[in-house]
Amino acid sequence: MSTKMTEKDWELALEVFRASLWTVFPARDEAEPGASARTSSFGMTFLRFPGRPALSETGIEYCRVIDNNGRYRYYYSMMEQMGIDRLTGLMAFSRAASLGSYTAAARALAISPSAVSKSIQRLEERLGFKLFARTTRSLTLTPEGRILHDRAIRLLHEAEEIEQAAAAVRGEPSGAVKVAAPVSVALHILAPKLALFRERFPKVAVDLRVSDTMSDLIDEGIDVAIRIGALEDSRLIARRLGPNKAGAFASPAYLAKRGIPRRIEDLEGHDCVNVRHYNSGQLLRWPFRVGNRTVEILPTAGIVVDNTEAVTGAVAGGAGVGLSPTYVAAPYVVRGELVPVLTEYWADRHSITALWSESRRGNPNVKAFVAFLRELFTDPTPWDQIAMKKHSPAEQPEALR
């Protein structure tokens, strides 16, 4: 069984790691005399120096790292006995502790839940104590697990900063960029344009995570996230992309049968389709612009769903009037399946924003993807122009003439 690392050991390890992390100076062509070289799986050469003090109880010794380009040399400490397998265990453990389940950790790390479980089990065997108190319904840190989690998070964040700094030095976008986006934005704005991004940056692989749940960028290792609505995490850098404009739509067949609403009050005499908020369970209040103020109404809905796509589909099928984001409704408008109504009262619903952590500020992949997003969100956006277009009599669907 491996020697246990106490809280004091972890503090000392982290201090050694941090103190020697970012001393940078021009590299010499020759290695220091007496140094033994070992190439890591990350493509960097590790030099271990005889005679340097080693922290034998914690398995940590001083190392010097020379980048393969031969231009800069970095001093920092690494755990000699902590190989790839042990680092994997720490990553799996920290993700599971932060996200509350092996399944969520597996999704964040792009591995299977069983791989997460096995990595944590091996880590527990090495440490000699349990990290989690597990039941069929909950995952709770043990006292020892809480101590290790705090230190592991800090250590892994430092390691991530190394990776981001290396990416910034590299300059050219390459490798992977992990992006998180809501379902509707991913389906209607991002996914159709990813081929264009890959044409421009063929060395960058896009890992798109599609979900309406809020991802923790730092805990889940997300490079860029797209959010709709109010922002809560002040640790992140935010760049507004454009408005999240929503408007009222109905099918030509429905309007031909029931008439076109001209005023907001006319909705009382129409069938409506509404959406229930995924998190709160509350029905959506429809925002409309009246003069210089925004009013919200809660229409009587004969159909309620919990997905924006379903609202648009039901409305296109003739179920009534529904509120839809313009980027979702625009393709239906182009095909003649939906007609915008009450356009003079349409209002923006919050903003669509790109977010990334401070540690990614200099990452060329992040810079390239954010610049690409800004190109997609022109002012006005193409989907707003399509969805809000007022048809001339000749362009109107035949059922409305």
Interval 7-40: pLDDT, tens: 555 454 444 444 433 333 333 333 444 443 333 3
Spell 165-196 as b/e; 16+ CB within 10 A means b: bbbeeeeebbeebbbbbbebbbbbbbeeeeee
Domain boundary (170, 192, 216) is at 170
Q: According to the model, what pLDDT value does residue 16 have?
A: 43
pLDDT of 361 higher than 50? yes
Identity of residue 61: E
Same domain as 251, residue 235: no
Same domain as 55, residue 105: no
68 in a structural domain: yes
189 in a structural domain: yes
289 in a structural domain: yes
CATH, residue 114: 1.10.10.10
Same domain as 191, residue 93: no
Taking all residues of the chain, what is their mean pLDDT, rounded to a whole number? 76
* Nearest in space to 158 (alpha carbons), one of 88, 98, 97, 78: 78
120 or 21, higher pLDDT: 120
Same domain as 396, residue 280: yes
Same domain as 261, residue 221: no
Looking at the 3D structure of the chain, how many domains does it have? 4
2 in a structural domain: no
CATH, residue 328: 3.40.190.290
Q: According to the model, what pLDDT value does residue 13 have?
A: 46
300 in a structural domain: yes
Domain boundary (79, 111, 130) is at 79
1 in a structural domain: no
pLDDT of 395 higher than 60? no
Whether the Cβ atoms of residue 397 and residue 249 lie closer than 8 Å to each other: no
298 in a structural domain: yes
pLDDT of 261 higher than 90? yes
- How many other β-carbons are positioned within 10 Å of the β-carbon of residue 82? 17
Same domain as 331, residue 395: yes
Q: Which segments of 279-372 are extended strands (E)?
A: 286-290, 293-297, 303-305, 321-325, 339-341, 347-357
Q: According to the model, what pLDDT value does residue 164 have?
A: 59
Rounded mean pLDDT, 359-363: 81
Domain boundary (144, 170, 196) is at 170
pLDDT of 250 higher than 90? yes
Q: Encode pLDDT of 146-159 as tens digits.
A: 888 888 777 776 66
Q: According to the model, what pLDDT value does residue 81 have?
A: 42
The number of residues in the chain equals 401
Share of the chain above pLDDT 90, in %: 36
Rounded mean pLDDT, 153-180: 73
Q: Which domain holds residue 112?
A: 84-170
Same domain as 307, residue 257: yes
pLDDT of 199 higher than 90? yes
Same domain as 396, residue 283: yes
Q: According to the model, what pLDDT value does residue 79 have?
A: 43
Same domain as 148, residue 52: no
Cβ neighbours for 69, distance < 8 A, ≥ 6 positions apart:
none
Q: Encode pLDDT of 40-88 as tens digits.
A: 333 333 333 334 343 333 343 434 444 444 333 333 344 444 455 667 7
Same domain as 25, residue 67: yes
Q: Encode pLDDT of 362-380 as tens digits.
A: 888 999 999 999 999 988 8
Same domain as 393, residue 292: yes
pLDDT interval class at 357 (50, 70, 90):
confident
pLDDT interval class at 161 (50, 70, 90):
low
Is 0.85 topped by the overall pTM?
A: no
Same domain as 334, residue 248: yes
CATH, residue 223: 3.40.190.10
394 in a structural domain: yes
